[in-house]
């Protein structure tokens, strides 16, 4: 097993390799990763004072020579059980070579005979009684469950060129990730059968290898010298393999505060090691934002693959519009305040540089996503586009009517939920529905005075509780699910393509998502705003009922419901908003507010559904 190194970060196992992974159970049981997993499991059993320890001869204190010898004997026994029965190991019968087929190779490769140590044979002899067999079997089952309880990642390090992993990524993943999954599962089954002498009647093809595979390459990405020194050694992710549904439980599940603009470059004192960092070059709309994440946040970093397209080689070669370091050493960030979630506008190089500290309180996908979108929004404003926090969809009905609907609003105000309800309710009427933006995008007034909308993400990061059960279930085979057992459980899933994100669709409906007001005779589901100033007042106030996605509670207000860039560049944003809304009214775009009632108790499902129904009626009219 050609492993360069492996790490345990919290509940994450990270394996780095630059060659083929073990393809036989003999190679697996002889690997350092396997032996390390056994020792970690034994540590947990000792912490629990498990009754399994005594029958396995592991009652001694873990630091003693006897305990170390006992651990080695157990590992030797487990290794031998991959090819021999417990009785054969106890009797000292040498195992015959077993023909095993390396996954993906198509060739037969005889495994090396397993040679148990004398201590392992003595241990096996002492476990031949029914109670001993049962204890050993329970240990094997527990070890398998313990391994699978980790979030497991494999990083395939490749060199640029025609022979690199990235040239044939499917074959690379097949000969590593797929091979490991097959081998781990086969080894587990062999060991259990060799202990009990029985075959199982039910086989479950669980993901026993790694949940995520990455091909990482050192690439030439043009950076100003000051950034090259800090970031240049970090390998770039060029391909991602995910076994969904991927379920992770990050350290926290809410976000607080807004990102601060600082005069001091937060990357100035950083030096990122190629051993512990990876770069996900995110295509955020038309922009490239190099996102560097520490391996302690690898689960969150890999989840970006469901949200942002991985940038092409040509985009990477052209250089980034912004750089973002997620997981910076806290000791380098203390000077930046109590909430070190900051960005710097480097006017000398023209780059935006952002950083977030490697603390558990920032271990939430919202920090990663929203900082990337903040950087996008700032670049967009500098290029003359008004960023928006909202969801945008292009709808074509079977009757021939079509419209582009943009719903602006704060987090958890019912933007995405209303559009998903729209999809569900209008399935028999809709010919085509294309999501342009799920959370963030930008508006441009073109030379003809049209208001064009663009997106940023190819995926959605939404509250699991606010999605229709049927829809959530139907998409689970592509999803990354975060903290399903907690309030604000989230799911990240792909919903659109980069082509539709970048297309630029003329806007027909520009609506503010009002999640806090009930509907009555004076406050309809959809209310048209009559003037530019009235519309600007509503959108500028950014009122919303907090839903637990941040630490805010009650009715809150935020500038244009978008704290991600506009407040930090308010003067610039005001001029852009004035231009966009004047153009919207001049073109006869429907500008108003949509009462989703997502923040009204008891209306979390019905509110977005009724909003969707009224929208469908308006488009059909």
pLDDT by residue (tens digit) across 44-77? 999 999 999 999 988 776 777 787 889 999 999 9
Domain residue ranges in the chain: 3-196, 218-382, 386-458+495-620
CB 175 within 8 A of CB 104: yes
CATH 3.40.449 fits 218-382, yes or no: yes
- pLDDT bin (cut points 50, 70, 90) of residue 245 is confident
CA nearest 330: which of 293, 353, 355, 352? Answer: 355
What CA–CA distance (Å, rounded) separates 502 from 500? 5
pLDDT digits (tens, 9 = 90+) for 4-56: 678 888 899 999 988 777 778 898 999 889 999 999 999 999 999 999 999 99
CB 345 within 8 A of CB 262: no
What does pTM read for this prediction? 0.89
pLDDT score recorded for residue 550 = 57
What CA–CA distance (Å, rounded) separates 277 from 255? 23
pLDDT score recorded for residue 471 = 53
CA nearest 248: which of 341, 365, 359? Answer: 365
pLDDT score recorded for residue 109 = 38
Q: What are phi and psi of 365, to 5 degrees?
A: -60, -30
> Which of 107-111, 274-278, 547-551 has the highest average model confidence (pLDDT)?
274-278
pLDDT digits (tens, 9 = 90+) for 449-476: 999 999 999 998 887 776 655 555 556 7
E strands, 164-274, are 212-217, 236-242, 246-248, 260-261
pLDDT score recorded for residue 453 = 98
pLDDT digits (tens, 9 = 90+) for 408-438: 998 778 887 787 777 777 778 889 999 999 8
Q: Which residue has the higher pLDDT, 372 or 244?
A: 372
Q: What are phi and psi of 602, to 5 degrees?
A: 85, -5
Number of Cβ atoms within 10 Å of the Cβ of 93: 13
What CA–CA distance (Å, rounded) separates 605 from 597? 9
> Which of 3.90.228.20, 3.40.50.150, 3.30.420.40, 3.40.50.300 would CATH assign to domain 386-458+495-620?
3.90.228.20
What CA–CA distance (Å, rounded) separates 3 from 1? 6
pLDDT score recorded for residue 417 = 76
pLDDT score recorded for residue 107 = 33
How far does Cα 427 stand from its chain's mean position?
Answer: 29
Q: What percent of the chain has pLDDT over 70?
A: 91
pLDDT score recorded for residue 320 = 97
- pLDDT bin (cut points 50, 70, 90) of residue 108 is very low
Q: What are phi and psi of 384, to 5 degrees?
A: 90, 10
CA nearest 143: which of 212, 213, 56? Answer: 56
CB 278 within 8 A of CB 293: yes
What CA–CA distance (Å, rounded) separates 292 from 297? 10
What CA–CA distance (Å, rounded) separates 279 from 608? 38
pLDDT score recorded for residue 428 = 81
CB 479 within 8 A of CB 244: yes
Partner residues linked to 433 by β-bridges: 395
Q: Which residue has the higher pLDDT, 102 or 610?
A: 610
- pLDDT bin (cut points 50, 70, 90) of residue 99 is very low
DSSP 96: P
pLDDT score recorded for residue 95 = 54
Q: What percent of the chain has pLDDT over 90?
A: 64
Residue 1 has pLDDT above 70, yes or no: no
pLDDT score recorded for residue 112 = 47
pLDDT score recorded for residue 134 = 96
Helix 130-149 to helix 179-196 angle (10° resolution) is 160
What CA–CA distance (Å, rounded) separates 99 from 586? 76
CA nearest 14: which of 234, 252, 243, 294? Answer: 294
pLDDT score recorded for residue 384 = 97
CB 90 within 8 A of CB 125: yes
- pLDDT bin (cut points 50, 70, 90) of residue 177 is confident
pLDDT score recorded for residue 547 = 64
E strands, 495-588, are 505-506, 509-514, 526-528, 543-545, 555-557
CB 452 within 8 A of CB 405: no
pLDDT score recorded for residue 463 = 78
- pLDDT bin (cut points 50, 70, 90) of residue 139 is very high
Mean pLDDT of 311-323: 95
| Average of per-residue pLDDT values in the chain | 88
pLDDT score recorded for residue 106 = 33
pLDDT score recorded for residue 466 = 60
User: Can you count the helices (H) and strands (E) in the chain?
Assistant: 18, 29
Partner residues linked to 284 by β-bridges: 287
CB 136 within 8 A of CB 105: no
For residue 435, give both structure tokens.
């999501």
Residue 247 has pLDDT above 50, yes or no: yes
pLDDT score recorded for residue 419 = 75
- pLDDT bin (cut points 50, 70, 90) of residue 103 is very low
Residue 167 has pLDDT above 80, yes or no: no
Tokens 């750089």 found at: 323
pLDDT score recorded for residue 467 = 62
Mean pLDDT of 94-100: 49
What CA–CA distance (Å, rounded) separates 272 from 606? 49
E strands, 19-149, are 99-100, 109-110
pLDDT score recorded for residue 48 = 93
pLDDT digits (tens, 9 = 90+) for 183-238: 999 999 999 999 999 998 999 888 898 999 999 999 889 999 989 999 999 999 99
What CA–CA distance (Å, rounded) separates 266 from 3? 34
CA nearest 494: which of 536, 458, 446? Answer: 458
Q: Angle at Cα 209 formed by Cα 203 and Cα 211, nearest 5°?
A: 110
Mean pLDDT of 79-90: 95
CA nearest 265: which of 376, 344, 203, 322? Answer: 344
Q: Can you list the alpha helix ranges (DSSP code H) found in 518-599?
A: 532-541, 570-586
CB 336 within 8 A of CB 305: no
Pairing of strands 341-346, 260-261: parallel
Number of Cβ atoms within 10 Å of the Cβ of 393: 29
């Amino acid at each position: 097993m050609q492993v360069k190194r492996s790490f345990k970060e919290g509940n994450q196992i990270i394996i780095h390799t630059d060659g083929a992974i073990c393809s036989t159970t003999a190679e697996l049981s002889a690997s350092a990763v396997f032996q390390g997993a056994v020792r970690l499991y034994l540590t947990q059993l000792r912490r629990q004072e498990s009754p399994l320890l005594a029958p396995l001869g592991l009652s001694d204190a873990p630091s003693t020579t006897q305990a170390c010898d006992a651990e080695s004997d157990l590992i030797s026994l487990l290794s031998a059980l991959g090819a021999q029965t417990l009785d054969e190991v106890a009797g000292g019968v040498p195992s015959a070579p077993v023909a095993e087929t390396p996954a993906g190779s198509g060739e037969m490769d005889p495994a090396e005979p397993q040679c148990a140590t004398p201590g392992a044979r003595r241990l096996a002899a002492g476990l031949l009684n029914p109670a001993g067999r049962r204890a050993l079997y329970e240990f094997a089952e527990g070890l398998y469950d313990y391994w699978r309880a980790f979030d497991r990642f494999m990083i395939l390090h490749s060199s640029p060129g025609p022979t690199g992993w990235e040239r044939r990524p499917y074959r690379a993943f097949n000969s590593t990730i797929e091979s490991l999954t097959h081998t781990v599962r086969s080894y587990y089954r062999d060991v259990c059968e060799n202990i009990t002498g029985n075959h199982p009647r039910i086989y479950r093809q669980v993901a026993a290898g790694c949940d995520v595979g990455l091909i990482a390459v050192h690439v030439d990405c043009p950076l100003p010298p000051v950034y090259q020194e800090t970031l240049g050694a970090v390998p770039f992710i060029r391909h991602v393999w995910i076994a969904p549904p991927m379920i992770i439980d990050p350290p926290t599940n809410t976000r607080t505060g807004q990102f601060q603009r600082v005069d001091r470059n937060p990357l100035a004192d950083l030096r990122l090691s190629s051993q512990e960092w990876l770069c996900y070059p995110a295509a955020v709309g038309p922009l490239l934002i190099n996102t560097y994440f520490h391996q302690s946040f690898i689960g969150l970093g890999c989840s970006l693959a469901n949200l942002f397209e991985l940038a092409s080689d040509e985009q990477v070669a052209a250089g980034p519009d912004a750089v973002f370091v997620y997981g910076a050493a806290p000791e380098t960030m203390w000077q930046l305040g109590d909430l070190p979630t900051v960005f710097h506008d480097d006017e000398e190089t023209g780059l935006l540089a952002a950083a977030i500290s490697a603390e558990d309180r920032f271990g939430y996908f919202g920090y990663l996503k929203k900082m990337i979108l903040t950087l996008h929004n700032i670049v967009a404003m500098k290029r003359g586009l008004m960023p928006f926090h909202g969801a945008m969809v292009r709808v074509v009905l079977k009757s021939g009517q079509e419209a582009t609907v943009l719903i602006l609003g704060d987090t958890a105000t019912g933007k995405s939920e209303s559009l998903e309800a729209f999809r569900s309710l209008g399935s028999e009427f809709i010919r085509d529905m294309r999501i342009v933006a799920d959370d963030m995008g930008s508006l441009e007034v073109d030379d003809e005075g049209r208001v064009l909308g663009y997106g940023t993400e190819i995926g959605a990061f939404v509250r699991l509780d606010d999605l229709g059960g049927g829809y959530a279930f139907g998409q689970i085979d592509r999803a990354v699910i975060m903290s399903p057992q907690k309030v604000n459980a989230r799911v990240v899933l792909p919903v659109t393509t980069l082509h539709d994100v970048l297309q630029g669709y003329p806007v027909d409906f520009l609506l503010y998502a009002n999640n806090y007001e009930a509907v009555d005779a004076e406050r309809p589901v959809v209310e048209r705003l009559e003037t530019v100033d009235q519309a600007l007042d509503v959108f500028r106030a950014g009122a919303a009922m907090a839903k637990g996605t941040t630490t805010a509670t009650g009715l809150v207000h935020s500038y244009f419901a978008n704290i991600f860039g506009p407040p930090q560049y308010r003067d610039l944003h005001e001029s852009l908003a004035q231009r966009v809304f004047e153009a919207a009214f001049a073109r006869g775009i429907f500008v108003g507010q949509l009462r989703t009632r997502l923040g009204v108790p008891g209306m979390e499902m019905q509110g977005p559904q009724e909003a969707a129904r009224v929208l469908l009626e308006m488009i059909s009219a």
